[in-house]
């Protein structure tokens, strides 16, 4: 099934979205290179192995040489640059410079792009959060935002995260601006608007954290998708963010079971690990790095073994620019490359899993 999907994508997608010509090759007589994570992921039947990158890293040539090495990363996701506060900083004033700074070089380099995100409760501009709009006005604002951003990035994105993090852990809807003003129908509305304005081939995803096990939250997302299906609301995939912690991470079986909520009949959606990182309580030790490698390995294996899991994206690859230390004090070292740009045991574990 996955191979069929891949050939359909390659056959019907504008060239710019399709798989890249590789840097470095490795078929010549000189300098055979070890295959990277994306090379191995594609051989294992996935569409990509990717990474999120952020604007603060764009002045760093060493960082960029790794981010744009297509042997390791076949897909790029902007961590922040396509979020509402940057894209529409004043009402109906659009600024794509931060998004473009990530998307354009990735496109030029033949890397696929996952675009992130049209609608979230966080990183919204003040003009949106500090005014009480009516329901009708807010729906207009939502459509106008999606229309403009989707049109600007038309055919640039393999997938769009249309709605991000709409549920609480207990499976109820998250209370935010969107729910308070529009009601739960803001979610299907966002997907309808997205389908209207994104490129024909672009996949529409619902993306969330804490759904990597069968629990109240993943079941609530499943129920929502089932309702979409009954009501002809377009959706193609569910993104498992997969921000994990050593010692508390979902197992291989947890992930497989939760993926099946969405990939089996009647939903038959695709899934992906969209923001994978594995934090450890500092200081890092050899033992903790090994445990981290096992979590990364089990997570990637779960995606590899699930026919409808299309790929894995890590939420940045370099420890010094990870979001983890700022967000979870005392935790860190969550990425695949350490501060000296050395690949960590987790990198090699993933390579081993993908090669098996």
Which residues contact ligand NAG (rule: CB under 6 A)?
A: 24, 33-34, 36, 55-56, 58-60, 69, 71-72, 95, 97-98, 101, 130-132, 170-171, 216
The answer to whether 267 touches 226, Cβ cutoff 8 Å, is yes
* Least Cβ distance, residue 213 to ligand NAG (angstroms): 11
Specify the pairing of strand 112-119 against strand 159-164.
parallel
The answer to whether 296 touches 304, Cβ cutoff 8 Å, is no
**Rg from Cα positions in the chain:** 19
> Residue 132 has which token pair?
């009480």
Q: Is 306 a catalytic residue?
A: no
In the complex with ligand NAG, the residue whose CB is nearer, 69 or 117, is 69
* Least Cβ distance, residue 299 to ligand NAG (angstroms): 19
Specify the pairing of strand 48-53 against strand 159-164.
unpaired
* Least Cβ distance, residue 62 to ligand NAG (angstroms): 7
In the complex with ligand NAG, the residue whose CB is nearer, 113 or 203, is 113
The residues, ordered by sequence, that sit 6+ positions from 258 with a Cβ below 8 Å of its Cβ are 211, 212, 213, 214, 218, 240, 250
* Least Cβ distance, residue 300 to ligand NAG (angstroms): 15
* Least Cβ distance, residue 63 to ligand NAG (angstroms): 7
In the complex with ligand NAG, the residue whose CB is nearer, 54 or 161, is 54
Q: Which of 149, 275, 306, 308 is catalytic?
A: 275
Q: Can you tell me the distance from the alpha carbon of 111 to that of 107, in angstroms, rounded to the nearest whole number?
A: 6
Alpha helix ranges (H) inside 231-267: 252-263
> Residue 346 has which token pair?
């987790």
The answer to whether 216 touches 169, Cβ cutoff 8 Å, is yes
In the complex with ligand NAG, the residue whose CB is nearer, 7 or 134, is 134
The enclosing H or E element of 313 equals strand 309-314
In the complex with ligand NAG, the residue whose CB is nearer, 217 or 243, is 217
Q: Is 275 a catalytic residue?
A: yes
In the complex with ligand NAG, the residue whose CB is nearer, 159 or 350, is 350
Q: Which of 165, 212, 270, 308 is catalytic?
A: 165
The answer to whether 169 touches 210, Cβ cutoff 8 Å, is yes
In the complex with ligand NAG, the residue whose CB is nearer, 210 or 284, is 210
Which residues in 168-198 are b (16+ Cβ under 10 Å) and which e? eeebebeebebbebbeeebbbbbbbbbbebb
Q: Which residue has the tokens 């729906």?
A: 139
Phi, psi of 256, rounded to the nearest 5 degrees: -60, -45
* Least Cβ distance, residue 202 to ligand NAG (angstroms): 24
Q: Can you tell me the distance from the alpha carbon of 119 to that of 146, in angstroms, rounded to the nearest whole number?
A: 8
* Least Cβ distance, residue 223 to ligand NAG (angstroms): 11
> Residue 56 has which token pair?
């603060």
The answer to whether 314 touches 265, Cβ cutoff 8 Å, is no
What are the residue numbers of the active site?
Answer: 165, 275
């Amino acid at each position: 099934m996955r191979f069929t999907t891949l050939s359909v994508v390659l056959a019907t997608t504008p060239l710019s979205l399709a798989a890249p010509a590789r840097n470095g090759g490795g078929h010549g007589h000189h300098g055979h290179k070890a295959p990277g994570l994306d090379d191995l992921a594609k051989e294992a039947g996935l569409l990509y192995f990717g990474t999120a990158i952020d604007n603060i890293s764009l002045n760093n040539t060493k960082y960029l040489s790794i981010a744009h090495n297509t042997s390791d990363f076949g897909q790029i996701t902007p961590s922040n640059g396509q979020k509402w506060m940057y894209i529409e900083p004043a009402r109906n004033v659009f600024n794509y410079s931060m998004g473009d700074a990530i998307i354009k070089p990735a496109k030029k380099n033949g890397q696929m792009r996952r675009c992130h995100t049209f609608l979230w409760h966080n990183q919204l501009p003040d003009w949106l959060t500090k005014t009480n709009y009516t329901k009708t006005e807010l729906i207009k604002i939502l459509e106008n935002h999606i229309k403009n951003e989707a049109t600007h990035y038309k055919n640039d994105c393999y997938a769009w995260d249309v709605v991000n993090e709409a549920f609480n852990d207990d499976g109820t809807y998250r209370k935010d601006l969107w729910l308070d003003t529009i009601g739960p129908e803001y979610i299907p509305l966002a997907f309808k608007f997205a389908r209207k304005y994104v490129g024909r081939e672009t996949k529409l995803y619902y993306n969330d954290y804490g759904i990597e096990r069968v629990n109240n939250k993943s079941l609530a997302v499943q129920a929502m998708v089932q309702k979409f299906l009954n009501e002809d609301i377009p959706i193609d995939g569910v993104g498992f963010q997969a921000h994990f912690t050593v010692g508390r991470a979902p197992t291989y079986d947890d992930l497989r079971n939760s993926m099946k909520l969405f990939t089996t009949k009647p939903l038959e959606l695709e899934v992906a690990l969209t923001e994978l990182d594995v934090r450890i309580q500092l200081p890092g030790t050899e033992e903790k790095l090994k445990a981290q490698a096992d979590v990364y390995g089990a997570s990637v294996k779960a995606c590899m073994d699930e026919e409808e899991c299309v790929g894995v994206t890590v939420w940045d690859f370099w420890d010094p620019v990870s979001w983890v230390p700022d967000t979870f004090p005392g935790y860190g070292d969550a990425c695949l490359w350490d501060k000296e740009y050395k690949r960590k045991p987790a990198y090699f574990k993933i390579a081993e899993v993908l090669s098996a």
